[in-house]
Amino acid sequence: MRKLGAPTIHSYAEVLKLTTLTENNDGFVSPEAMFNELIADNKALIKTIRNAHAVTDAADDIASAGLLEGYIDEAEKRLWFLFETNQNREDSAS
């Protein structure tokens, strides 16, 4: 961002102000609820990264677009893994 002349995030507190995902501070979270939260969070993350990718494309910022493509790929793999693991967990529970 700085190489393009844009401001960057300066602190963890600033990250917390900008985040769109919420923390779960419950004392106990069931495995089903954990998977559902992780799946929803990864879907939201993928959407956000894809939106950022559109911005990098519009700015002709090839380097940042390439980084984001790697992040998208990893997040989509993680989402697939969570989904499949959750399916297997439900099958084995019955």
pLDDT in tens, 61-82: 999 999 999 999 999 999 999 9
* Residue 48 · residue 74 · CB < 8 Å: no
Whole-number pLDDT of residue 94: 46
Rg (CA), the chain: 17
**Mean pLDDT across the chain:** 89
Distance between CA atoms of 18 and 37, rounded to whole angstroms?
A: 19
Query: Can you say whether residue 8 is alpha, beta or left, with left for phi > 0 and alpha for psi between -120 and 50 degrees?
Result: beta
Whole-number pLDDT of residue 87: 83
Q: Which residues make Cβ contacts (< 8 Å) with residue 29, sequence separation at least 6?
A: 37
* Residue 31 · residue 89 · CB < 8 Å: yes
Question: The pTM is what?
Answer: 0.80
In the predicted structure, residue 14 carries a pLDDT above the cut 60? yes
